[in-house]
A and B are shown apart, each in its own frame.
Chain A
Amino acid sequence: MRQEDVIHIIQSVKEGNEKAVSELIQLTIGLAMNIAKNILHNSDDIDDAVQESYIKAWKNIKTYDANKGLFSTWFYKIAHNECIDRNRKMSTQNHSQLTDDLFDSTQAADEQLYYKQLKSNVLTISTSLPEKQREIFLLRDIQNLTINEVQKMTGMSTGSIKTNLYLARKKIKEVLDSEGE
């Protein structure tokens, strides 16, 4: 879907069009779930975080400026912050429980936990990328759009998309490497 269509839907949402609400949710729920699933562990928490992200997005919808970036990038930040906050609260509450679970875990579960943590770190690092790089990274690597789809969505050239992808991924790798040292 092109950015113009998304803007049209958001405008309709602001005007109280109920059909537009459904459309917007269908468009973005995959992204929200993807973020939540890669940060949170419990399925109830995931659902709650996604629900809360939408409520927050709706309450702040007037602050979204289409000239400053894609709606998905704006919503991504809200959803990511919500998941990180929730995860932090849960970690504090369930610290002892988690520690016990870790001692009992199998190797496969350890690996799963490691990859989940790695993805969560990637998501967190991506929020500090420059706007354009974050936008392209989000569309291509998180939402799994093809280069052509990203091109349609953003109106950028293939070369520019590839350059932004290269810079974003390089930055993420550098931060991950420095954290791992």
Chain B
Amino acid sequence: MKNTDKENSQHTNCQSIEPLLYLKADELSIDEKTSLQHHLMQCQSCNKSHEEIQKLFDQTKFEPYTDQHDHLAGQIEKDIKLLLSPNSKPYQLFILTTNVKRLLVAASVLFFLTFSVEQVSTISRISKLEKRISQSTMASELVRQKGELLVINHFFSWDDIKSTAFSNLKSRYPEGISLISNSNKSWESWQKKLTPIEKRGLFIELVKKSSIKFPLIKMGELGRLPMNDSNF
């Protein structure tokens, strides 16, 4: 039991003394020197560590640099003064290259941004155009083959249709437009009120609109369109 206490106490001592092992002789106070010497005499392990550390200090001692370096210092001074002088060519060159570099970076960023925006916009335009062409082709083909009117199943914002023909239609049949928006069945009874020219006008507007926004077109909901009409 006594031995264990002694070992524990020794271990505590070793822990507390460890920082002193890493200090050089001239860094220790008198008290620190005394307690270190006292501990090293008792503890073989710390003594060994201390020797190793001090050996490493000797091996890695950085001697103060005392050689003459006036020539080099003078040369460096000259270099820096040249760089510091606003009239000096190296300084001007340095400023010039820095500014050119900045300009190049700014121009690259601007070019990249413009290119990206243009690219996105072109892709979007092409895609809209392609969609429009394909839908117009499909609508024309359907009308040519089956002679049926087409209508958009999902009636969207009627206010978007700005043509005069449609405005007239809306002012003449406001209740009809509203019914179309809500129910296809109501449309069937309402469309009977329309003259063939009005039906055609409405159809043209719907096809126009659908070719821009809605690919989904349903056939047969407006009834047959007289195909021999020259306006169509």
Contacts and interface: CB of A to CB of B under 8 A. Distances in A.
Size class of the contact patch on chain A: 35 or more
A3 to B, nearest CB: 20
Interface stretch (B68-76, B174-182, B224-232): B68-76
Interface residues of B, number: 28
A25 B22 CA distance: 32
A22 B77 CA distance: 6
A115 B77 contact: no
A171 B154 CA distance: 75
A58 interface: yes
Contact of B65 (A34, A122, A141, A169): A34
A67 to B, nearest CB: 24
Given A22-B77, A51-B79, A122-B60, A165 B23 contact: yes
A166 B22 contact: yes
Contacts of B75: 51
Interface string B132-154: 00000000000000000000000
Contact of A55 (B69, B72, B80): B80
Contact of B62 (A58, A119, A146, A166): A119
B65 A30 contact: yes
Contacts of A147: 26-27
A144 B65 CA distance: 10
B76 A29 contact: yes
Given A18-B81, A21-B84, A33-B65, A47 B72 contact: yes
Nearest to B90: A55
A166 B18 CA distance: 9
B67 A33 contact: yes
Nearest to A14: B84
A147 B23 CA distance: 11
Given A22-B77, A54-B79, A162-B27, A142 B62 contact: yes
B96 to A, nearest CB: 15
A95 interface: no
A51 B64 CA distance: 19
B69 A33 contact: yes
B56 interface: yes
Contacts of B84: 16, 18, 21, 58
A61 to B, nearest CB: 10
B83 interface: yes
Given A21-B77, A22-B77, A176-B56, 4 more contacts: A115-B59, A119-B62, A141-B62, A166-B23
Interface of B: 18-19, 22-23, 26-27, 53, 56, 59-60, 62-65, 67, 69, 72-73, 75-77, 79-81, 83-84, 86, 94
